[in-house]
Amino acid sequence: WFSQLSHESGTGHPIPVAVAHHLDDNVETMFLNLLRGTGPSGLRGMLPKTGRGIIRPFLEISRKDIVDYLRQIETPYVTDSSNLKNDVLRNRLRNIILPAIYSQFTDGHRGIATTIENMASVEALLNDHLDVCREKFCHIANDNTLHINLKDLVSGSSSPKSLLYELLKEKGINYTQACNAIESWKNSGATGRCFNTPSHEILINRDELVVAPHTGNDNTSISTNNLLGCKLPDGFSARLIKKSEVKFSRDATKIFLSERVINEKAEFTFRHWQHGDRIHPFGMKGSKLLSDIFSDARISLRQKRAIWVVTVNDKIIWIPGIRTSAHYTIGENDKQVLEISATDLICKI
């Protein structure tokens, strides 16, 4: 609806829309949040104005005052009959629970309204404190990932779990995950543990939390024994070229393999890095852990999770953009060479 209004406005911005929520609606919202478990933002209820273009001009006025005014000016109004059915929790609050409270506490309505107002002030104060904490404990890296210094946060806060939750709740984290992240960090073996929210992944990397949007490429694996006739992952291409056309480069964005790999109908796999992966690097004796290669190159934990590896018959032959292996190197008898390329999008770390 708001998207349509924005389009019709011709400005690219939503047209402000006034809705008729009143104080009684806000009291009900506050109680619903309270029953479900909430913090200051839930106890202050609805806001008079939101960033989505909604305004609530009657939010501090009770339903009784609105109805009394309409009767005074002799203006008819309509009551939604569904509000009288006690089949949902909000209606039971409205029709049963709150009237029972007000019958015992005649000024209860006013006290609840004062609490809502106070909670709005508390939330504003909390947000000011969070801005200070973001400056103190958080920074944005060059790859636009959010980094939170857990060591400083835990030592510098009297309630680190609540603080971490408040800092990350907009990323979808829940309070339980925030608690688990703190407790996991205290365990020295927690580096690499990941907490997923609907929109982000949150990784423990030594003394930091690294927060980034989901890449959508975890656990991707594509195998083929007919490399030239299959669709490869985005960014990869393969072709047969003459041996004389080979032009080696140092950036490892291409790999050149003996034509034997085609003649033998070898099984290629394109997948992401896994713990324990090893490669026999070209020009070196023996194999080396990919994790050691990544550490030498100062590749972050977040970046490691996005790195592709290419295997032939389960042996890693290539880490695009980083290293090639000694397997299936070009021989004297080769007339053709298999060239596999990866774009900068895949390789740039």
With contact defined as beta carbons under 8 Å apart, do 294 and 336 qualify? no
* 149: nearest Cα among 165, 133, 126: 133
End-to-end C-alpha distance for the chain, whole angstroms:
41
d(CA 137, CA 148): 6
d(CA 246, CA 254): 10
Number of CB atoms found within 10 A of residue 300's CB: 19
Which amino acid is it at 72? Q
E-assigned strand segments in 206-303 = 208-213, 221-224, 236-242, 254-258, 268-272, 278-279, 288-289
φ, ψ of residue 237 in degrees (nearest 5): -145, 155
2-122, CATH topology level: Rossmann fold (3.40.50)
Two structure tokens written together for 44: 């202050």
φ, ψ of residue 153 in degrees (nearest 5): -65, -45
The full set of domain ranges for the chain reads 2-122, 141-213, 221-347
Task: Per residue of the chain (349 residues), give pLDDT as tens.
Answer: 344 444 445 555 667 899 989 999 999 999 999 998 888 889 999 999 987 789 999 999 999 999 999 999 999 988 888 888 888 899 999 999 999 999 999 889 899 999 999 999 999 999 999 999 999 999 998 878 899 999 999 999 999 999 999 999 999 998 899 999 999 998 866 677 888 888 888 888 889 999 988 765 555 677 887 788 788 888 899 999 999 999 887 778 899 999 988 888 889 999 988 878 999 988 888 899 988 888 888 777 667 777 889 999 999 999 998 889 988 899 888 999 999 998 754 444 4
- DSSP symbol at 244: G
